[in-house]
Amino acid sequence: MKFSVETWAPEYGIGFDAQQLEESTDTVDVGVEVEADDWSPVTPAAVDPPACVLFIDGVRRIDVRVWISDGELARAGVCASVAAGAVRCTRSEAHVVDAAVMRGVYAAPSEAAGPIVTDHGTYEFVPCASDAPDSVYNGIHEQMTRLETRFGNDDDADMVVFDGPLRGRINPKGVGYIKTQHVQYLPESEQRVLQLLDAGQRTPLFLIGGAGFTRWSWYLRLPGPDTHPLAGIVRCELPGVGSAAEAIRRADQTTATLPRFASEPHKDSRAPQNLYPIAGLENKLRHRLGDQSKLERALRIAADG
């Protein structure tokens, strides 16, 4: 029997499963760099490498689930902690430059809801659209995104890489880095080009429009074990502003830059997509979230008080 083994750790799902991709509801223009019939792998043009790259990421954790008393009703909510920070990488060193933590109570709007003060800090009330689990989860995710946005204004950085989609962030140096693929943006004929990419190559640029936010986007392949046809494939995006020529220049620069930060399977269970600066930052941020058992105890004491 012939088979291949995915290097991506199974507890994280799969980095790229072409059979499980959801069809995009956005409009997609695949002809912004080359005509659709001419799609083929692109080797980046020679560009000056950035002297300083800033990687930004965030983590989140539900500390406890709570019930908020509202008269005769009990409303569901969660107490969660989010953290975000940045790693600055120059050609000779990398270090965490900043990090921040925010704790919140996430629930549907209610006059009975408010902040919770504990011995280990205050959980500020964050109203969500409803108390449905998806709504609460989105509220936590949006809070993490807002926290991440604080760290993208480094004047010395030549490139700012956000781990995940840009989600409406307009940063002139910003690049969204999507390591896990859930949506199929390309028609089948262009989607097949992904399997033809060598490490360090990218697809032609395409333009994604929808929800009031347009993005230039492309796929690239990172170096690593060739375990299956889509191994090491990630998607990048830029704010859909400026000219196609400028977006192509930035796509070439990004495609030439990111492979040197790719992780290796013997060091990271999400290799090569989980870039080393992002992996290191995630570890630092999870430490900054604090001891969950102590936070839970503090919340129980506050509830009894």
- pLDDT tens readout for residues 146-177: 999 998 888 889 999 999 999 888 889 999 99
CB atoms within 10 A of CB 129: 12
pLDDT at 211: 66
Summarised one tens digit per residue, pLDDT across range 254-277 is 999 999 999 998 888 888 999 999
All residue ranges of the chain with pLDDT < 50 are: 1-5, 8, 11
Q: In this prediction, what percent of the chain has a pLDDT beyond 90?
A: 69
User: According to the model, what pLDDT value does residue 3 have?
Assistant: 36
- Rounded distance between C-alpha atoms, residue 114 and residue 277, angstroms: 37
pLDDT at 20: 59
